[in-house]
Structures are given as structure tokens and as C-alpha cells.
Amino acid sequence: MRIIVVGGGFAGLVAALQAGELGAQVTLLEKGDRLGGSLVYSSGYIWSYKDLKIFRQEVPGGDVALQKLILQQLETGLSWLEARGAIILTRETGNPLTIGARFDPEQIVAILVDRVAASGGRILLGTALDDLVEDPEGCIGGVRVVVSGKARKESSDAVILASGGFAANPDLVRHYMIQGPGSMRLRAHPWSTGDGFLAALRAGALASTGLNEFYGRNLPAPPAHFSTEAFVEVSQLYGRHVVAINLNGERYADEAADWSETALVQATAHQPGVRAWYVLDGAALRERIRGRTVGEMVKAARRVGGKVLQAEGLKELAEKLAEQSIPRENVIRTLREYNAAVASGRGNELSSLRSEPATAVRTPPLTAVEVAPAITHTIGGLAVDTGCRVLRRTDRQPLPRLYAAGVEVGGVSVGGYTSGLATALVFGRVAARSAVEALHNLHVSNRRG
């Protein structure tokens, strides 16, 4: 049985290895010039919420069947990875809501690549899926690929799409997420331009919910300049300690709505100029988040050329923001309203309500950091069942011989965020097992027939 896996990120490598171990003849297609996708930039935490109750509370709009699948399969997935030589660095996730493990991304990529090759897998770099090919019975019978500008066909008995969604497609990002003019920086590798997603839609696949949502971070806004290796270091991950104002000097979101700050980052994508200012005070600079102080994160923004303003009081900060074209009176009104509301415990009466922690911005120095959202990956994608079989638009039944894994699977994190590495690990293995099982059953029934 021949299985093509499209994409050599974490989901694709896991699917390729699992399928190879189950006896499939695997071809792994990778558009880029290296393997590992976004895993190589990641912090290496593969995690899940502790139970379904917390999962639903944190990610209320996500597909509950797929969330249960992650909960059921994460531990066996981690053990599978460990049994293949991946070294667990720690079992601490640093978040009381989650469980999981931290690995060294480079090491995982190295062992998976070695094992895929050892299991007889064929790995083709610089080979991009261009389209899916249907056989005369309407089943997916292979792919059309483009190598050095030339197209050719690769036949197979099943295809697993793991090409990472469409974060690197500026037109789709503008259409679905920004929903207006502007663009977002990419906080990921550059190759996931939606090839797999769009090819599946052309073949009749159903798109999931959440196409307008994304996982990302607010980073120092341009002219800040930094390399892909600095994605984690420059992240401005302290929204819950700030007042976020847009270019009109107005609040636009509940800055502390969720721990991952996904809601705040998504709301920033809808603001004029696709950017905002984080305003915070001296007390906030001393807060610690994931082993760093907020002050250190602000310093990182300044170091890479981001705009950071400081002042001793509100009026002086408003003057400095006015020099950046933010209306002075609006800044003063917004911050005074906010301070008065949270000081009297009425944060939930503000027009953009404010969850806890909600403290007044008072202690000097007052700081303002210009931020812009950057997209790590899409949250919407292809609709699948719990076998990671891609569903058909017309009848919501599986599209024969087409599977999806990782970011390509949409709808799991709608309304929140869950570990992209866990979805890659769990869905990569499930997709491979489903594909092999279906091909095995087909083979048996053909022999009987």
C-alpha cells in the first residue's frame, strides 16, 4: 500500500513514520528545503488541557470529538515518541491548566527523519503538492507535484495532508482574518500557503469552522526587525498586565480574556493599521511570565528596534503618543476611564470589559510599546472525523482516501488555543492508522471478492 504524506513538519513526519511502521510504502513530500516545519522554531512543549471540562472552558467553540481525541491519545503519543528515542526534558508545562512534556525540537526532527528513512520511507525535499488527483471512481489516487517549476504525477492509494494550513498566504490571511486592508507578519516558516487546504476544497472537502481565527502573538511592530530564531524571545506575552489601545487611542479588547492571549492578538488584527500600543506601568514591568519579567520582554522589543516610549506620568505619556499620531485627548480619556473603573472593581462595566488581573496604570515609569500581531498558524482548516478522514462538503461523509493531520485539521481550537504540537502528534498518528486500516480492509475485501 502506497501512502503519500504532504508536508514534512511535525504532523507529516509523525504520520510518515507511523504509516511506515504499519507496513505502508511511504513517500513524504516537502515543499521547503528542510524538514521540521514550525517545530524547529517552537518551544517544544507538547501539551493538552488537564481534562475535558478545562478544555471546553478554554476552547469553547472547538470540535468536542477532536478535543476528546487529543485528551485520549496524548499520553500514548508521548510514549510512542519517547520509545523512538525522543528525550523528555521536563514534565512541567508551567501552566496549572495543562499537562504534557517538553522536548528538544531539533532532536525530535532528527530522530523522526532517521526513522522514516530507516522504515523505507522516501523523502522528497523541494517537492510541492500542486493538486490532488482523483481516480475514475472518485477516490483520491495521488497528487500532482511541482519540482523546480515542472509538474508531474505521483500515484498512491491514500494521501495524508499535513501541509500546515495557510498562514503564509497573505491574501487568505487578509480575507479571513484581517477582514480589511493591511497585512500580518508571519511567525512561522514561509511554505504553508494553503496548497493542501485549497486542493482539498477543490476536490470537494468541507472547510471547518474558525476560518477567521488564528494562533499568534503580538510582536514589536515594524520598524522592529528580527530573525526567525528570535520569534520566542521578542514575543510580547504580557497582555494581561497592560491596557491595549489602538491608533485612535481607544481600548478594543479584554486584554486578560484568556491565558494564551489569543483573543487579544486576534482583536489586534482588526485594528486600524493592524497594530496597537500596550500601555503599562512600573509595577507591571516587574511581573514574571514563563521565567521572564515583563520588563525583560519590553527590553527585547527595544533591542530589535521596536518603538518603546516612557514617561513619568499620564499626561507626558499622552504627549509622547501624540507625537506618534495617537490622539492625545483620547489616550487620556481612555486611561482615566480604565483606571477609575478597575480601581472601583467595575472593570466588567467598561465598553470593552476587563477581566482580572485588572490594576490601574499608575506607578511610574509609564511605558508604551507598539505591537503588531503575527500569525503562527491558522485555526480553521479541513473538517475531519475522529479518524482524521477529510469530510466531503456535500454529505459530510469521508472523501475516499484523503486524510489530514496537524494544522491542516481545522476547528479544534475555535474560540481559544490548544497545543499545535499535540494536534500534530495525535492527528499524525491517527491519520496514518486510519489510512493503513482502510487500505488493509480494502485489500482483504478485494481478495475475497
Ligand X SMILES: Cc1cc2nc3c(=O)[nH]c(=O)nc-3n(C[C@H](O)[C@H](O)[C@H](O)COP(=O)(O)OP(=O)(O)OC[C@H]3O[C@@H](n4cnc5c(N)ncnc54)[C@H](O)[C@@H]3O)c2cc1C
Residues that bind ligand X (CB under 6 A): 6-12, 29-32, 37-39, 41-46, 128-129, 162-164, 187-189, 191-192, 195, 231-232, 376-377, 406-407, 419-422, 424
A 10 A CB-CB count for 436 gives 21
CB closer to ligand X out of 232 and 350: 232
Nearer to ligand X, 11 or 368 (CB): 11
DSSP label at residue 312: S
For residue 152, the cross-strand partners are 145
Minimum CB separation of residue 334 from ligand X in Å reads: 31
Helices then strands (H, E): number in the chain? 13, 20
One-letter identity of residue 304: V
DSSP codes of every residue in 126-190: TEEEEEEEE-TTSSEEEEEEEETTEEEEEE-SEEEE-S-TTTT-HHHHIIIII-SS---EE-S-S
Q: Does residue 448 contact residue 13 with C-beta atoms inside 8 Å?
A: no
Q: Which H or E run includes 353?
A: none
Nearest approach in angstroms of CB 417 to ligand X is: 9
Report, in Å, the least distance between residue 180 CB and ligand X.
25
**By C-beta, is 63 or 250 nearer to ligand X?**
63
Rank residues 21 and 195 by Cβ distance to ligand X and give the closer one.
195
Report the residue number, 260 or 330, with the smaller CB distance to ligand X.
Answer: 260
Residue 102 CB, nearest distance to ligand X (Å)? Answer: 8
- Give the nearest distance from C-beta 57 to ligand X in angstroms: 19
Q: Name the minimum Å distance from CB 132 to ligand X.
A: 11
Q: What is 204-258 written as a DSSP string?
A: TBPB-S-TT-EEEEEEEPTT----GGGHHHH----GGGSEEE-TTS-B-S-TTS-
Measured from the CB atom, the residue of 388 and 439 that comes closer to ligand X is 388
